[in-house]
């Protein structure tokens, strides 16, 4: 039974998250599994590299599935995209992978991107795809605050109360904060890279850094919050709509070549 890796893009707005929810709540996992069932009848269960929350998007989610027949990757991609319409989910690439490949457990890196737009007028074209604030932020202050979070730390402060991870200790390899012109305002982008993340870790970090950029927090307060190892010391958790699972890294890229 061949195994396939799928690179998936989706708009998370209409979904209750990646993971199948049941009780009439739509999920991205269910959408892809339903499309697979139209190609090969029967139940299908797929595993993904990251279980994104409700409203969170992806430009580089990776999942794997096992199918009974040998599919040419391009034809499988085309067939899945046909059956996924009109839902905002697209399979960008398909690759045949070894039987021991696992989208989640084989991953060595996950990359998230967060989009924050500062402008007075409401966003229109990016509605539901960015977090909007009204006033410009201090880019250098946010970078200074983010620097305290790089490396291996106990991230209890930046972890959801219901997080199921066995340990709050994670290694954050990168936080890059950039700014670019946006019609009528400025767009700030936060790029975070780590082997794995805690539940709500990215949104907790971005929400805290926004407070730094707004001048409500000094950059050093981020270090104090981290060292407190106390959820109450965290800044506000930002909304989900600006968050994107941007990519997943493996020892060998299954989609290369």
* Cα-to-chain-centroid distance, residue 63: 13
Three-state SS for 228? Answer: helix
Q: Are residues 152 and 90 in the same domain?
A: no
Identify the domain containing residue 34 by its residue range: 3-106
> Domain tally for the chain?
2
Contact 194, 171 (CB under 8 A): yes
Residues ≥6 apart with Cβ < 8 Å to 74: 94
CATH assignment of the domain containing 233: 3.30.70.660
Q: Are residues 55 and 135 in the same domain?
A: no
Q: Is residue 157 part of a domain?
A: yes
CATH assignment of the domain containing 97: 3.30.70.580
Residue 29 has phi, psi (to 5 degrees) of -55, -45
pLDDT tens per residue across all 257 residues of the chain:
899 999 999 999 999 999 988 778 999 999 999 999 999 998 899 999 999 999 999 999 999 999 999 999 999 999 999 999 999 999 999 999 999 999 999 999 999 999 999 999 999 999 999 999 999 999 999 999 999 999 999 999 999 988 888 999 999 999 999 999 999 999 999 999 999 999 999 999 999 999 999 999 999 999 999 999 999 999 999 999 999 999 999 999 999 96
Q: Are residues 126 and 241 in the same domain?
A: yes
41-52 burial, b if ≥16 CB within 10 A, otherwise e? eeebebebbbbb
Q: Are residues 78 and 126 in the same domain?
A: no
Q: What is the largest CA-CA distance in the chain?
A: 58
Q: Domain end: 59, 83, 106, which one?
A: 106
117-126 burial, b if ≥16 CB within 10 A, otherwise e? bbbeeebeee
Which residues have a catalytic role annotated? Answer: 53
Q: Are residues 235 and 116 in the same domain?
A: yes
Calpha distance 172→192 (Å, rounded): 8
Q: Is residue 256 part of a domain?
A: no
| Model pTM score | 0.95
Q: Is residue 254 part of a domain?
A: no
Q: Are residues 166 and 226 in the same domain?
A: yes
């Amino acid at each position: 039974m061949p195994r396939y890796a799928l690179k998936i893009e989706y708009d998370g707005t209409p979904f209750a998250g990646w993971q199948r929810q049941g009780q009439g709540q739509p999920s991205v996992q269910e959408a892809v599994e339903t499309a697979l069932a139209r190609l090969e009848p029967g139940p299908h269960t797929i595993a993904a590299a990251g279980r994104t929350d409700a409203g969170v998007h992806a430009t580089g989610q990776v999942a794997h599935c096992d199918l009974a027949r040998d599919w040419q990757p391009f034809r499988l991609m085309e067939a899945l995209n046909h059956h996924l319409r009109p839902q905002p989910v697209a399979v960008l690439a398909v690759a045949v992978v070894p039987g021991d490949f696992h989208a989640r457990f084989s991953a060595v890196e996950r990359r998230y991107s967060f989009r924050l737009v500062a402008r007075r007028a409401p966003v229109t074209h990016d509605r539901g795809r960015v977090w909007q604030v009204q006033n410009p932020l201090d880019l250098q202050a946010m970078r200074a605050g983010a620097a305290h979070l790089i490396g291996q730390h106990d991230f209890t402060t930046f972890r959801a109360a219901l997080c199921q991870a066995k340990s709050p200790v994670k290694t954050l390899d990168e936080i890059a904060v950039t700014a670019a012109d946006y019609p009528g305002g400025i767009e700030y982008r936060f790029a975070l890279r780590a082997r794995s993340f805690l539940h709500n870790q990215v949104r907790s970090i971005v929400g805290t850094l926004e407070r730094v950029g707004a001048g409500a927090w000094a950059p050093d307060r981020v270090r104090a919050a981290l060292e407190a190892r106390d959820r109450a010391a965290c800044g506000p958790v930002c909304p989900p709509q600006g968050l994107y699972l941007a990519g997943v890294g493996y020892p060998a890229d299954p989609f290369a070549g």
